[in-house]
Structure 1
Amino acid sequence: MSTDADRVVLPSCPSTMTVARDGFAGYAGSTWVLALRQTGGHGRRGRPWANPRGAFTATLALPRPGTAQQAAQRSFVAALALFDAFVSVTGRPEGLSLKWPNDVLLNGGKVAGILLESLGPRPDGQLDGLLVGIGVNLIEPPDTGEVEPGALRPVALAQEGGVTVTPEEFLDALAPAFARHEAAFAAHGFAPIRRAWLDRAARLGEVITARLPGEEITGTFKTIDDLGYLQLQTKSGLRGIAAAEVFF
């Protein structure tokens, strides 16, 4: 993926994921869809995606992302790209960390989230495409009433980082950062992405709780494995978790 990915900037739309999905077949290559206002976005498990004033809401349409497992690992690629974009616009890495599986934290609060949606698969097991949805609180956080009980407090870049940028300016920092990490992923696989992500991981070595449908697992966050699965050391042994909500 090159740094000159196409971009589509919309004044408003219900969901950049929907626009990117509907337009995917017509894109010449990797394409960013950015909405200056999003009215009907959604997050994981269909939850409403809050859209506070001045928020960054965009979706990257990525063709030919490989297998479903490789597509899932783009969550870590996106997290690293977001980390670098925040450093680029603020000039400092302090206060930033990455929360498994798909959030970016600033001063301990959630400032950005990632949502993946696969397109395909083909008979050979490869996917036709991947949509990487990204939301960032640039100016103000969503109301706490819109946040799941027990979740981390939402924060905004302007509030916690002291920097005000427009969605277009943030995309100017994010797009090349994603392209850089995507190129590393394509050339070297998940191993360097995993190492870089772990260097920035929130609560590594600490006790956390993973909430699965019908089950909660508490243990020490040891690492992520070669697939990107969370590894928790529990009283009954090491437990690998492919997907869950994590609480501190």
Structure 2
Amino acid sequence: MGVGRVLLPSVDSTNAEAFRRAPDLSGPCWILAAEQTAGRGRRARAWSSPQGNFYATLVMHPHEAPQIVALRSFAAALALRDALAGATGTGAGLALKWPNDVLMNGGKVAGILLESHGSGQGVAALAIGIGVNLIAHPDPHLIEQGAVPPVSVLSETGVRLTPEALLNHLAPAYARWEAVFATQGFAPLRTAWLAHAARLGEKIIARTGTQSREGLFETIDAEGNLILRMAQGPLAIPAAEVFFS
């Protein structure tokens, strides 16, 4: 079965549009919008959405348990790294930041947001939202203190990509990683992700709510958890905001 593609001039949020369309879709589908009027990132933060940047969502109907479905964030990150490398002609300077950001020359160039709608104990629809700063990025002074500064593909490489051009690289790249995940499980994705991980083996800060933990970024485990090496031993963290010290 092929993967559908919908191109829209404007939408409130590609993830929201994905869920509106999901009941009528027989297979996976990419939804790409030229602009978002109510884009959002993790923790319901507003996502700056000027025209010229990339806003897309892959919607699908997965069959695995929710904790397995969530591991597709790593497939998306790997695919996005491959797509950016292919579209710009170089993978130099690209790195993956746990849990779901892509860095270019140390700055945040892209973010990934997974959302799902349930069906009993399963997942009826999964939306993998991807935003990429192709030609513009938010004002660094407006981001959270200590967060990775934003950059754009254009500012870092001089390459001006259109959203459709990036999707032409991203869609097949994701299909390849999805096939690996479906046939071999998470292990090969974990190995590949760690090969491109930002600050692996270095000191980082993981914040969950009001709690901050500082330690060495040791690895990610078989469930995708961040393993932070603390003075008292390794600590598995399933969800957090990561800051570089």
Output the CA distance in 1 between the equivalents of 2:91 and 2:149: 20
Are the aligned partners of 1:220 and 1:234 in contact in 2 as well (CA < 8 Å)?
A: yes
The offset of 1:9, in angstroms, is 0.5
1:164-183 equivalences in 2 (<5 Å): 164-183=160-179
Distance in 1, matches of 2:25 and 2:135, equals 31
Q: Note the 1:51-130 alignment, pairs <5 A.
A: 51-122=49-120, 125-130=121-126
Alignment partner, residue 34 of structure 1 = 32
Q: Does 1:15 align with 2:13?
A: yes
Which one-letter code corresponds to 1:30 in the other structure?
P
- Give the conservation status (yes or no) of the 8 Å contact 1:57–1:136: yes
8 Å contact 2:62–2:69 — kept in the other structure? no
Give the number of equivalent residue pairs.
Answer: 244
Letter in structure 2 aligned against 1:95: G
TM-score (norm 1): 0.96
| Structure 1 outlier segments of 4+, above 3 Å | none
CA contact (8 A) 1:52 1:137 kept: no
How far 1:229 moved relative to its partner?
0.1
Partner secondary structure for residue 83 of structure 2:
helix
Q: Does 1:199 align with 2:191?
A: no
Mapped partners of 2:18, 2:159: distance in 1: 29
Q: How many percent identity over aligned positions? A: 52
Counterpart CA distance in 2 for 1:65 and 1:105 is 31
So what's the TM-score if we normalise by structure 2?
A: 0.97
Give, in whole Å, the separation in 2 of the partners of 1:203 and 1:38: 32
Once residues 63 and 174 of structure 2 are traced to their aligned partners in structure 1, the CA distance between those partners, rounded to angstroms, is 14
* Shift in alpha-carbon separation, 1:189–1:214, aligned structure 2, 3 A: same
The alignment's C-alpha RMSD in Å is: 1.1
CA deviation string 1:132-190 (max 9, x = no partner): 00000000111224422221110000110221110011100000000000000000000
CA contact (8 A) 1:50 1:146 kept: no
Is 1:214 the equivalent of 2:224?
no
Q: Following TM superposition, by how much is the alpha carbon of 1:128 offset from its aligned partner in structure 2, in angstroms?
A: 1.3
**Is this contact kept in 2: 1:65–1:129, CA < 8 A?**
no
- After superposition, the C-alpha distances for 1:34-88 in whole angstroms (9 at most, x for unaligned) are 1001111111111101113411001110112511111210110000000000111
Letter in 2 for 1:48: A
Aligned counterparts of 1:146 and 1:12: Cα–Cα separation in 2 = 25
The one-letter code sitting in structure 2 at the alignment partner of 1:108 is G
Map of 2:220 onto structure 1 = 224
